[in-house]
Amino acid sequence: MAKMAALLMLLVTVAALPASARQTSVPDNAQAQTLFDEALTSFDAGEYAEAAAQFSRVAEGFDLHSMTTAAALMEGKALYRAGAFQEAVQTLSRFEERFASSRFVTDARRARRLAANALEATANAPIDLGIILSLNPDEASASQELFNGLRLAVDAHNGMPGARPIRMVFRDIGQMGADGALRSAVDAGSATVFGALFSDQATVAAALAEELEVVFIAPLATDEQVTDERTLAFQANPSIQMRGRLMARFAVNGLRLRDLGVVTEGEANGISRLMGAAFAQEAESLGARVRFAEVLPGPRAWLNIENHLSADSLRAVSGLYAPLAGAASDQLAGGFLGGLRNLLTPDEQRSLRVLGNSEWHDLPLREDASRFMVTYSNDYFFDRSTDRAQAFTRRFRNLSGVSPGRLGVVGYDLGTYLSEHLTSSDPQEVRARLLSAAPFQGLGVRVYFGGEQVNRQMFYHRYRDGQLSLMR
């Protein structure tokens, strides 16, 4: 009852509609206006069933007139107040179809969602989760693996006693485009949509989700444009800039490094440079000093770093952030560390800590990396030796016939996370839950929005004494 009362309080009572809110391109109708005023009187008196019938006569009993859309909208609201949630959903859905260009369509959509949420709450009806992925030949394999992991998580949730069931609504980006797939999923009843493999697809979907007022979760996108200046889009994968910021926080607050240098690559896609700039800005905001920021002209410059950094500049810092990008990370990292060895004495090498990104993960140069105690952030870490990981691997193999790769684990983890927080078809309620949710530890990913819309949880690893270990 308390939840129902809260839902009722969300609906704004319309005591009257000013003339400016009425249609001006169609004729007035004095008789319809009189009936509309009588219906408002019934509504204000709490006689919602009677008001709904009266508004219906105003909307349907005359040719199109200046109060038609207002009456049709108020009929749906009165039905909602009367507790006739199914009829309210149907009435307001017809309004959205019939009067798609009306100034009241946004109000009708919100009222329909309230009615749908109330209906579901009373019947424990499934919550629809839209899934938009591409089945184009070059993307189908990745989409299927991500979907299989998600499906296992949703199936596990639906099998729990008393759980509110989740129904997956799949739409193919390859056939419909990102915007078409999202719109179709929303038309089918989804108020939360998950998907898109790439940032360009996710950006298009996020823009439309904002317009349609539904929550959109991008599982893989790293471009901050997905969430920039939006309120309903979320990035479960830390953005490129967020990765730099998070590493700076760990370096300054966790490792207590105060004098830092940054070396990045001016590659075509700008990933290394974006991380480095975000790292430097965040480190300085936390009180650290960034002594230098060197942008290398290309990937080969990592192999002759002596031509771009001086020994004096390295002696002035205790931490050096070097985010790699692109292919051949092991070769670039090896050449870079070799150049640092040539520039510094053994004692000086022990005083410098190299900081990195996920491209530094599990490289075949542990002794060299240990010399500089290379420490890096990583967005994914799946320990296959744990009981949970092995149990998941068996379930995934039973479903698909193959062992899970990274996308299968990501799909399962994010599906588990969403299943926990997808308790309503009200987008604002889902948004609030995601923003306030506690940190989540999955099999291979961590998720924590902490009041923001970009995930801010990563793993931190370190090379030391020839070994690679998880620090945090």
Q: Is residue 301 part of a domain?
A: yes
Contact between residue 382 and residue 443 where contact means Cβ atoms under 8 Å apart:
yes
292 half-sphere exposure, CB direction, 13 A CA radius: 18
| Same domain for 255 and 344 | yes
Distance CA 353, CA 360 (A): 14
Q: Give the domain-ending residue among 69, 94, 123.
A: 123
Q: Is residue 352 part of a domain?
A: yes
Instruction: Output the six-digit token pair for 417.
Output: 């996370």
| Same domain for 11 and 115 | yes
Instruction: Output the six-digit token pair for 256.
Output: 């207590």
| Same domain for 254 and 204 | no
Q: Is residue 318 part of a domain?
A: yes
CATH number of the domain to which 105 belongs: 1.25.40.10
pLDDT at res. 424: 85
| Same domain for 372 and 257 | yes
| Same domain for 256 and 176 | no
Q: Is residue 464 part of a domain?
A: no
Q: Considering only CA atoms, which of 129, 69, 131 is closest in space to residue 104?
A: 69
Backbone angles phi, psi at 235, to 5 degrees: -115, 110
Per-residue pLDDT of the chain (472 residues; tens, 9 = 90+): 333 333 333 333 333 343 333 444 568 888 989 999 999 999 998 899 899 999 999 989 898 888 899 999 999 999 999 888 889 999 999 999 999 988 899 999 999 988 888 877 676 778 999 999 999 999 999 999 999 999 999 999 999 987 889 999 999 999 999 999 999 999 999 999 999 999 999 999 999 999 999 999 999 999 999 999 999 999 999 999 999 999 999 999 999 999 999 999 987 668 999 999 999 999 999 999 999 999 999 899 999 999 999 999 999 999 999 999 877 899 999 999 999 999 999 999 999 999 999 999 999 999 999 999 999 999 999 999 999 999 999 999 999 999 999 999 999 999 999 999 998 888 999 999 999 999 999 999 999 999 999 999 999 999 999 999 999 9
Q: Give the domain-ending residue among 82, 103, 123.
A: 123
| Same domain for 329 and 263 | yes
Distance CA 377, CA 381 (A): 10
Q: Is residue 297 part of a domain?
A: yes
Distance CA 219, CA 407 (A): 10
Q: pTM for the complete prediction?
A: 0.76
Q: Is residue 274 part of a domain?
A: yes
| Same domain for 369 and 251 | yes
Q: Is residue 81 part of a domain?
A: yes
DSSP state of 253: I
Distance CA 166, CA 157 (A): 8
| Same domain for 445 and 370 | no
Strand 259-265 and strand 375-378: pairing?
A: unpaired
DSSP assignment string, 322-373: ----SS-HHHHHHHHHHHHHHHS-HHHHHT-EEEE-GGGTT-S-HHHHHHTT
Could you count the other beta carbons within 10 Å of the beta carbon of residue 326?
14
Distances in Å between the Cα of 283 and the Cα atoms of 260, 276, 455 are: 8, 10, 19
| Same domain for 141 and 114 | no
pLDDT at res. 25: 58
| Same domain for 287 and 255 | yes
- The total domain count for the chain is 3
DSSP assignment string, 173-186: HHHHHHHHHHHHHH
Name the packing angle between helices 140-158 and 406-421 (round to 10°): 40
Strand 459-464 and strand 467-470: pairing?
A: antiparallel
Contact between residue 468 and residue 368 where contact means Cβ atoms under 8 Å apart:
no
CATH number of the domain to which 189 belongs: 3.40.50.2300
pLDDT at res. 6: 34
Instruction: Output the six-digit token pair for 229.
Output: 């200046």
| Same domain for 87 and 145 | no
pLDDT at res. 83: 84
Distances in Å between the Cα of 455 and the Cα atoms of 130, 221, 430 are: 20, 11, 16
Contacts 24+ apart (CB under 8 A), 275-278: 275/240, 275/241, 275/243, 275/244, 275/247, 275/323, 275/357, 276/244, 276/321, 276/323, 277/241, 277/244, 278/240, 278/241, 278/242, 278/243, 278/244, 278/245, 278/248
Distance CA 130, CA 209 (A): 11
Distance CA 219, CA 25 (A): 46
Distance CA 367, CA 380 (A): 23
**Type of residue found at 302:** W
Strand ranges (DSSP E) for 112-205?
127-133, 166-172, 192-195
CB contact set of 216 (below 8 Å; sequence gap of 6+): 182, 192, 193, 194, 202, 205, 206, 209, 210, 232, 233, 234
Q: Which domain holds residue 279?
A: 241-378
CB contact set of 316 (below 8 Å; sequence gap of 6+): 259, 261, 291, 292
Q: Is residue 462 part of a domain?
A: no
Backbone angles phi, psi at 155, to 5 degrees: -60, -40
Q: Give the domain-ending residue among 342, 361, 378.
A: 378
DSSP assignment string, 445-467: -EE--TTSSB----EEEEEETTE
| Same domain for 373 and 276 | yes
Distance CA 33, CA 40 (A): 11
Backbone angles phi, psi at 346, to 5 degrees: -55, -40
Strand 192-195 and strand 166-172: pairing?
A: unpaired
Which strands sit side by side in the sheet containing 375-378, from one edge to the other? 289-296, 259-265, 319-321, 353-356, 375-378, 459-464, 467-470
